Structure formats: structure tokens, C-alpha cells
Amino acid sequence: MTGSGPAILVEGLVKSFGQVRALRGVDFAVPRGTVLGVLGPNGAGKTTAVRILTTLLKPDAGRAVVEGRDVVHHEAAVREIIGLAGQSTAIVDYLTGRENLELVARLYHLPRPEGRARAAELLERFGLSDAADRQAKTYSGGMQRRLDLAASLVARPAVLFLDEPTSGLDPRSRVGMWEIIHDLVAGGTTLLLTTQYLDEADELADEIVVIDRGRVIAAGTPERLKDRVGGDVVEFSVPDRSRRDDALRAVAGLGDGTPTVDDTTGLVGIRVGHRGSQAIVQAVRELDAASIDIHGLALRRPSLDDVFLALTGHAAEDGGPGGTGRGRRRRSRRGAAAVTAGED
Ligand SMILES: Nc1ncnc2c1ncn2[C@@H]1O[C@H](COP(=O)(O)OP(=O)(O)OP(=O)(O)O)[C@@H](O)[C@H]1O
Ligand SMILES: [Mg+2]
């Protein structure tokens, strides 16, 4: 079943919906057993690409191959080996969690006893055993997402597609979902996941492709992408405005460039590349030696917005064709909270 090429190969993929050009020639490849994070704002074309790869939609041009099987010409063969947890869940509301999973097992023609066992195993693994015999409509959003992910795993797919697996989850459920995904990948599954969150791609993906308005605008490892926006930033504010220039002088040696000051917030920022933790310690030392009081010293990782701004010159929440501006609401807040230290 496994050929010698990549697990997923996409070449020159084009798809329009009337006037809307959702994909305008997308290429990428995902080596077997690795995770590709497809990152992009609302309307970028992420779901369109996933739907083509999972045979739910036909491309206008280009080709997509999953484990050597062309998604257009060998649709059934592709479906046999993939799992999909879409952006909206595919759960049957009035069935229980257990019934939902057993239904999927039947759809995949698993013998009944095996289907039952598989359902029980997945319910356990996703922390849904206690709720297994309740109707799915009584589940919380996070529980429904977990059930949906469990459903996508019933048939032990070699290649898994997760379309924004953590959107709408609270921070704790998000981390729980990340752990589940880590386990899957450790088991050898090839994974393509879409996300609007750089921190999520950073946590889970071996490689990232950034899609904007139907085109791949950047690709590479998370580290490489962050380098392109200048790496980590050390930030702090100086309550005593008369000491701000002294503070800038004290930390000038830490960064790659000149420290910047945000006029409205008074926040001082210095780009420090990969040397985040060292730089933050050094900043404390220098500022302390110069007897300057500071506030809210923090190490900020570049956010998706930073990446977008740097790569495209427009903010992620501008959206793509037909963009809805939802990005503003759903934007990650964790970027600013990655490491905080030394509140004075
Ligand atoms: N069935 C459809 N009919 C018409 N337009 C569509 C259809 N599906 C997608 N589009 C349009 O194609 C573009 C790409 O949509 P897509 O759903 O792939 O974006 P996305 O990156 O998944 O966005 P989001 O982050 O909001 O999920 C959008 O402009 C969208 O409005
Ligand atoms: Mg989508």
C-alpha cells in the first residue's frame, strides 16, 4: 500500500467557485509519517485543498495523489486509506457517542464485534467513556470535536486530514487535542492539518505551508518561518518615561537591530532571533545594573499576524477573497504569553 513517493503530493492545484478563485496553483508534498501544517487566514483556501485531497471536491486543474492514488481517478482507493475530521463535525446528534463510532465502523465494513471493540477503545482514549452512552447533542463543543476526531480514526487511516482541529476549543482542550495528535503521529500516521494559529503549527508540524488567497506564499520548518519574521521579541515597558532612553541604551546590545518603542503603549521591543531565553536574562541584568524599573518583561514569539504582515504586507484578518474578518476574533492570544518572566 505504501509506495516510494511522498504520502501526499499536490501539484498545480486550481479550483474556482464562480468568480472566486479559491486555489490558484498550489503545490506541496508531505513525506510519509510527517505532519504538514497548512496555515492561512479565513478564506485562504485551506478547506478547499482538504476537500479535494479527501475526494469531496474535484479540482479544475492540477493533480493530487495520496499514497500513490490519484484523488480524481482512484477516488474509492483514496477513501479506503484516509481519515477526515472536517471543520464542522460529522456527528449524528441524536445518536450516542458509542453509536456514532459503531456506525462509522459499519460504514467501513468492520465486523460487528471488531467495530464495538474499536469504538470502546477510542472512547476510552479520547476521555469519552463516561459520556459514551449519552446523545452526542448533549456533548460540549470540545467533546464533540474529540468524538469527531475519534470517528476519523475508526478505520486506522494511514493518512489523516484534520481541518482546524482546535478552533473553538478552550486553551486546556486545545492542549489535550495536541497531545492526542502527538500520539497519533508517534504511531506513524501521516497528518495534514490546517490551522490559523502559528503556535499550533509550531507545536505539531514538521513543515508548514502558508496559504494566502489561494497561493502558497511560504513553506518551510516552523523555525525557518519565524526567522523570516525576525524571530523572538523581548518586550517590556518603562513606567518612568524619563528613563526610557536609558533603558533603550541598556538593552541595545541584545538584539539584532535597534530596540523599538510603540508610541501608544510605550512598549519597548527588541528582536533577539533564537536567543530568547538568554536575551531575557541578559535584559534583566542590564536593566538592573542601570537601576531602571521595568514592567511586564516578556518574551514574545512571532504570531501568525507577524508572519502574515511580514510575508504579505497585509494583516491576516484582512482575509482572502471573500474573507470574513473572523480572523480578528479567532486570532491566537498565546503568542504573547509564551514565556513571561521577571515582573518587577
Ligand atoms: N462551495 C463554495 N461555493 C462558493 N465559494 C466557495 C465554496 N467553498 C469555498 N468557497 C470560497 O473559496 C475561498 C476559499 O475557501 P476555503 O473554505 O477553502 O477557505 P479556508 O482557508 O478554509 O477558510 P477558513 O479559515 O475560514 O476555514 C473563499 O473565498 C470561500 O468563500
Ligand atoms: Mg476552512
Specify which residues 14 forms β-bridges with.
Answer: 24, 61
Q: Quick one: cell of 104? A: 462509522
Per-residue pLDDT at 2: 52
Ligand nearest to the CA of 86: 2
Q: Rounded to an integer, what distance in angstroms lies between the CA atom of residue 270 and that of residue 46? A: 33
- CA of residue 305 to ligand 1 center, whole Å: 20
Per-residue pLDDT at 335: 33
Return the number of other C-beta atoms located less than 10 Å from residue 130's C-beta. 9
| Cβ-proximal residues to 78 (8 Å cutoff; 6+ apart), any chain | 54, 55, 66, 67, 69, 70, 71
- CA of residue 43 to ligand 2 center, whole Å: 7
Per-residue pLDDT at 113: 96
Q: Rounded to an integer, what distance in angstroms lies between the CA atom of residue 81 and that of residue 100? A: 20
Probe residue for ligand 1, chosen from 21, 24, 46, 56 as the CB with the greatest number of ligand atoms within 8 Å = 46
Domains of the chain with CATH codes? 8-226 (3.40.50.300), 230-340 (3.30.70.980)
From first to last of its 344 residues, the chain has per-residue pLDDT tens of 555 789 999 999 999 999 999 999 999 999 999 999 999 888 999 999 999 999 999 999 999 999 999 999 999 999 999 999 987 778 899 999 999 999 999 988 999 999 999 999 999 988 899 999 999 999 988 889 889 989 999 988 999 999 998 887 778 788 888 888 898 889 899 999 999 888 888 889 999 999 999 999 999 998 888 777 777 888 999 988 889 899 999 888 887 767 888 878 888 888 887 777 888 899 899 999 999 999 888 888 776 667 777 777 766 655 444 333 333 333 333 333 223 333 33
Please name the helix (run of DSSP H) or strand (run of DSSP E) that holds residue 118, with its range, or none. helix 112-125
Cβ atoms of residues 283 and 238 within 8 Å: no
Ligand 1 atom at minimum distance from 15 CA: 12
Ligand nearest to the CA of 16: 1
Per-residue pLDDT at 315: 66
| Cβ-proximal residues to 66 (8 Å cutoff; 6+ apart), any chain | 7, 8, 53, 78, 81, 82, 159
Return the number of other C-beta atoms located less than 10 Å from residue 93's C-beta. 12
Torsion 190-194-200-202 (CA) sign: positive
Nearest to 297 by CA among 338, 249, 246, 245: 338
Reading phi first (left if > 0) and then psi (alpha if -120 to 50, else beta), residue 111 is in beta
Per-residue pLDDT at 316: 62
Supply the DSSP string of 277-337, one letter for each residue: HHHHHHHHHHHHHTT---EEEEEEPPPHHHHHHHHHSS-GGG-STT--SHHHHH--SGGGG
| Cβ-proximal residues to 299 (8 Å cutoff; 6+ apart), any chain | 232, 233, 234, 235, 276, 277, 279, 280, 338, 339, 340, 341
Place of cell 481519515: 83
Residue nearest atom 16 in ligand 1 by C-alpha distance = 45
Cβ atoms of residues 316 and 331 within 8 Å: yes
Cβ atoms of residues 191 and 184 within 8 Å: yes
Per-residue pLDDT at 327: 33
Per-residue pLDDT at 101: 96
Return the number of other C-beta atoms located less than 10 Å from residue 79's C-beta. 19
Q: Quick one: cell of 189? A: 500516521
Per-residue pLDDT at 183: 86
Q: How far is CA 224 from CA 185, 205, 209, in A?
A: 22, 12, 11
Per-residue pLDDT at 330: 31
The pocket around ligand 1, CB under 6 angstroms, is made up of 17, 20, 22, 40, 42-48, 87, 196, 320-322
The end-to-end CA distance of the chain, in Å, is 59
How many CA within 13 A on the CB side of residue 24?
14
